[in-house]
Amino acid sequence: MKHELVIVLDFGGQYNQLIARRVREHKIYCEVKSYKTPIEEIRALNPRGIIFTGGPNSVYLDNSPRMSKEIFELGVPILGICYGAQFMVYGLGGTIGKANDSAAAEFGRTDCEFDTNSLLFKGLREKSVVWMSHNDYIETLPKGFRAIGHSAKCPFGAIEDPERKFYGTQFHPEVNHTEQGFDMLGNFLYNVCGCRGDWTMEEFAENATREIREKIGSGKALLALSGGVDSSVACKLMAKAVGSQLTCIFVDTGLMRKNEGDEVEAAFADSGVNFVRVNAGERFLGKLRGVTEPERKRKIIGEEFIRVFEEEAKKIGKVDYLVQGTIYPDVIESGAGDAAVIKSHHNVGGLPDYVDFKEIIEPLRLLFKDEVRALGTTLGLDEKLVWRQPFPGPGLAIRIIGEITPEKVAILQDADAIFREEIANAKLDREISQYFAVLTDMRSVGVMGDGRTYDYTLALRGVSTSDFMTADFSRIPYDVLEKVSVRVVNEVGNINRVVYDITSKPPATIEWE
């Protein structure tokens, strides 16, 4: 079955992936494409609708991202957001005011009024808060357009040409700060584009299973199984598709959480898949000796993973495919297309140049974290694995700042276990999206008993997020943090100070390295 498709054309906006996510929440399949995508390719995809993203540029400058005006001749409904709306106006003959008119700039929460006779705002409140982020502004509209929304500073906060089904918003409907934004996108998708909403996890699972089976044929596949949510769901999906043709390799790097290696082995002992555990702690720690730079850590671990898989593959005969639990945020942060590299994920940007497999299969590559969990539930994966705390491929190596030693690993394992235990005791383990401890390389003076100490500072991190692309720090109650702090300094050696990270993403990332 071919799903109805909406295309998000990326003009360099920071929320481009979030737009795609919001579309999928409406049960409509969506793909993100660069504004450089040829018109012929877009036409061949036969989309039900197109969404232009925002972007940091001024549309009237020569080097700003633009598409051929043929995009407006496809007969496909278009929604332009921020820069995308300005591009639409500029491309169809309107004018954009320059950024030096500071009186027109708007940033952050803004009150806006809407014409609810427009299909874009049908059934919504006439007044609500939106999220603005623009210097330039729409000065005059092209022929056929009219204003359907305005703020105190922005007379063209939303526009439409209903005959051609072109719509634009100067604000960002995709962010949570825009109170009715989700419903606005729904109105565009259903009222304007005429979508039915035929994309579900059940459909995804069926299609993915069929495609994996067709690709692998009679070949063999090797899965990099960490025991985390992503690789466990990938395992379940692959097992459904190819059964005994799959071998799961669990590499215990020595950088797992406390007792995690044994827990993972137990979880897959009776799963029906070929499970191989490789104890490689000394090997990884040896490679990382003396290394302090985060990207080097990731690269070293990424290559060593591959080398271990290659060695294990030779033991079980010819293996054609390597399977990884890569998900969408991994791809984005590792630098996809024109995107900047934020950090290399060991299963994306951390791969070595040469890999001794016919092909790498990443069945979850287009899914966000919550979609991965939904797929796991659909496939009948054990709930404990579906809701397992996210854990990065490089493991504790990127939660130990500075050089990694066996002693530091043991310290962090014990401290992290206490933090996770107290969060579970407080029944916050389902409310906080991700929580963990970080062993910093900072030492400070303390006093324990009657003596002076000079030991490590432990940082605690807890975040709330729906997609792991953006995140806010979790407001963990003080009494819970106090319990963790008291237990850590009393039960774990070499730590005399505990701090809590209250930074959102952005500007920080979720992990520290």
Q: Which of the residues are catalytic?
A: 82, 172, 174
- From CA 56, how far away is CA 498, in angstroms rounded? 39
* Number of residues written out for the chain: 513
Q: Write the CB contacts of 248 (distance below 8 Å, at least 6 apart in sequence).
A: 222, 223, 225, 235, 268, 273, 274, 275, 276
b/e code 224-263 from CB counts within 10 Å (16+ = b): bbbbbbbbbbbbbbbbbbbeebbbbbbbbbbbbbbebbee
Catalogue the E-assigned strands of 412-512: 434-448, 451-464, 472-473, 495-500
- From CA 362, how far away is CA 238, in angstroms rounded? 10
Beta bridge partners of 107: 133
CB–CB of 231/258 below 8 Å? Answer: no
Residue 368's identity, in one-letter code, is F
Q: What is the CB neighbour count within 10 angstroms for residue 357? A: 17
Q: What is the CB neighbour count within 10 angstroms for residue 129? A: 16
**3-class SS of residue 343:** coil
Q: First-to-last CA distance in the chain?
A: 41
Of 31, 10, 12, the C-alpha closest to 20 is: 31
Q: How open is the CA angle 187-180-170, to the nearest 5 degrees?
A: 80
* CA dihedral for 323, 327, 330, 336, sign (positive or negative): positive
**3-class SS of residue 435:** strand
